[in-house]
A and B are shown apart, each in its own frame.
Chain A
Amino acid sequence: MNYIFAFLILSSVIIGAYTGRLQEVVNSIFTSSALAVQVAIGLIGIMGFWLGVVKIAEKSGLIFLFSKLISPFLRLIFNELPKNSSAFSNIALNISANALGLTNAATPFGINAMKDLKKESKENNDTATNSMCMFLAMNTAGFQLVPAAVLGILVVSGAKNPTEIIIPTFIVTLSAFIFAIFTSKIFAKFWKERAK
């Protein structure tokens, strides 16, 4: 990220000088920094609303209920773990919180899940197990029901119908999630055979 940032600024000065648009480059610093503040301030409202609603879901135990619903699927996916492992509830809570866009609440669950997975680990302490890789892949695929920040930015910028992106996003995120699970399974098999 450091190199990308430096590259963007330096190259825009050089290219601006080359194309004779240096004035526009300088102007864009002022207009765009004001724009950045405008976007962030606009986000406060919608993020606040969504985090408020989700807090109710958290307190009422709805997230817990949701995580119970998905745990049978988890047992199927993480078949290397003992059936009563405490990792399951943490994984389920992590995925449920992520699905609602509660990234900050999801991270502690995720870290607890990883710690549980480490307890079940039969390998060296600094080596990832298949279950860990699977859990990580599920997280990086970023399964999300409501992309609150994205909706917020569209609303702030005056989109006519911002919620129309919800279903397309859901389809993409769900298929990437399923793809991640299958790829992990395939890699888990391939890696084992290579090790032999």
Chain B
Amino acid sequence: MREFLSLLSIWILPVIISFIIIYGVIKKVPCYETFVEGAKNGLFVSIKILPYLVAIIVSVSMFRASGAIELLSEKLFGILAHIKVPAETLPLMLTRSLSGSATLGIFSDIVNSTGADSYAAKLSAVITGSSETTFYVLAVYFGAIGIKKIKYALIVGLLADLFGIFAAIFVCRYFFT
């Protein structure tokens, strides 16, 4: 089962890409020109997140360099170690509902400090990849139509985030240990 799913992980991207291209050719879409048109946005998306990356990566690296994480992990994160959750991933779990760019920044900091093939990197990749910024979505969508009484929307969003974190921990233990 695990081997099959790992195989699927390798195949899914080439299959999706080929399918999109084949469908585009059938529908007579000018693939090359359309691709280039879309690819331009890659530049804007990346440049747009650069300031956020600088802010987050610098502040988190300073925090780590000061030895604060070691101080904290010794005292507070005994429980996390017990359920095999690397202490580095805790800041990620705390910001993922607040800011997507910050989460991406912390994620790349974890990848660079623990190595791209470490368990911490993989767990935080899954957490980052499966999250959407609850507060941002709430602000944009309800803001656009002037909703002030949000009822249970935020509670459900945060519960789903929390559920996602536990699911990520559980799934990663199955796949990567």
Contact = CB atoms under 8 A, between A and B. Distances in A.
A and B pair up: yes
Interface of A: 1, 4-5, 8-9, 11-16, 19, 21-22, 24-25, 27-29, 31-33, 35-37, 39-41, 43-62, 98, 104, 107, 110-111, 114-115, 117-118, 124-128, 132-133, 135-137, 139-142, 144-147, 149-151, 153-154, 156-169, 171-173, 175-177, 179-180, 183-184, 187-188, 190-191
Contacts of B157: 136-137, 140-141, 180
Contacts of A158: 116
B62 A29 contact: yes
A29 to B, nearest CB: 6
A58 B8 CA distance: 25
A196 B108 CA distance: 49
Contact of B108 (A61, A132, A146, A153): A153
Contacts of A133: 150-153, 156
Contacts of B60: 8, 32
Contacts, number: 359
A163 B54 CA distance: 26
B81 interface: no
A140 B143 CA distance: 15
Interface of B: 5-6, 8-10, 12-13, 16-17, 20-21, 23-24, 26-27, 29, 31, 34-43, 45-47, 49-50, 53-68, 71, 95, 98-99, 102, 104-105, 107-109, 111-112, 116-117, 121-122, 125-134, 137-138, 140-142, 144-153, 155-157, 159-161, 163-164, 167-168, 171-172, 175-176
Contacts of B134: 140
B67 A19 contact: yes
A36 B53 contact: yes
Contacts of B112: 35, 39, 157
Contacts of A22: 66
B52 to A, nearest CB: 9
Contacts of B163: 175-176, 179
Given A139-B141, A164-B9, A127 B61 contact: no
Given A28-B65, A150-B129, A33 B23 contact: no
B13 A166 contact: yes
Nearest to A180: B160
Contacts of A132: 142, 147, 153
B154 to A, nearest CB: 9
Contacts of A142: 130-132, 164
13 contacts: A1-B95, A11-B68, A15-B67, A60-B20, A142-B130, A147-B129, A150-B129, A165-B126, A168-B9, A169-B126, A172-B130, A175-B167, A184-B156
